[in-house]
Amino acid sequence: MEFSTLNPFWGPQTSYLNFCEEDYVITRYIAEFINTLSSLVYMIYGIYGLWKLHQKKQTGARSIPYCGLIGVGLCSAGYHMTLKYHTQMSDELSMHLLTTPLLYRILSFQTSAQYTRTVGIILSIMFTVVMVVHMVMDEFLLHAVTFGTAVYLIATRTLKIIPRQIRDPYTRKKVQHIALFGCASFIFGYVVWLIDEWACRALIGARETVGLPWAFYFELHGWWHVFTAIGGYIAVAIIDLLTSGKVKKDSVQQLAFPLPTISRLLSAATGLEKRK
């Protein structure tokens, strides 16, 4: 991506990935301004989740996935701010540090102690192998495939557990609606990520045409952050509800914005409120 005439505070780019946002346009201290700013959405959702747990005095191991969300936000912001190789590696490492505990929690739920240990050992070995190979050999495909597989397993396993764990049909439908919305949000984020890659020239032209601040809306990698942050938060929150046995009728209403509103809209669209 093109650089502006500003003198980059962080020096030349050393990361092997760059995105469609033009570098050092807003300030010399931040390489990709919108991509950095939008990364904070992960942190906001993670902090909200920790705050809700603290209110209920239910911290401990349940806090780990929310800390993972915060870590993804910090590492992503650091990467897009500096465009350095080591911050890119930390960004990609943080993605697996979020999905691996979620996978462990959902795959070992209601299983024997032996099976739980086996799952933990396998996931630990896979995590170590993937990250060592990725960082030593710059093998991006392995990172992408394993992350995508983890997301798929988390989504499908969660959707299977919801009917088994939530007996009340009204509450079950509400949780299913939000879980499916999380899947759709993640998929939509991936679509805009692809468009950002494939239609970069057209997007730059559109930004130049509309000017600031409207040009910010065409920074699609930033929207990838927003929508995957929503999807990631939903995954963490729903898995936490299911595996902790704390599902209540108002559980969806206690989720972060905009999910209570989304839930009401989906319920109205499917006639769920009328059948309550």
Length of the chain (residues): 276
Q: How far apart are CA 50 and CA 71, in angstroms?
A: 13
Q: How far apart are CA 93 and CA 127, in angstroms?
A: 9
Q: Please, what is the end-to-end C-alpha distance for the chain in angstroms?
A: 53
Q: How far apart are CA 124 and CA 96, in angstroms?
A: 11
Tokens of 221: 């990698």
Instruction: Name the residue type at position 91.
Output: D
Residue 21 marked as a ligand binder? yes
Q: How far is CA 256 from the centre of its chain?
A: 14
Q: How far apart are CA 251 and CA 238, in angstroms?
A: 9
Annotate 95-125 with DSSP letters as a single string: HHHHHHHHHHHHHSTT--HHHHHHHHHHHHH
Residue 134 marked as a ligand binder? no
Q: How far apart are CA 42 and CA 98, in angstroms?
A: 11
For residues 45 and 237, is the Cβ–Cβ distance under 8 A? no
Summarize the annotated binding site as residue ranges. 21, 32, 80, 221, 225
Binding-site residues from annotation for Zn(2+): 80, 221, 225
- Binding-site annotation, residues for Ca(2+): 21, 32
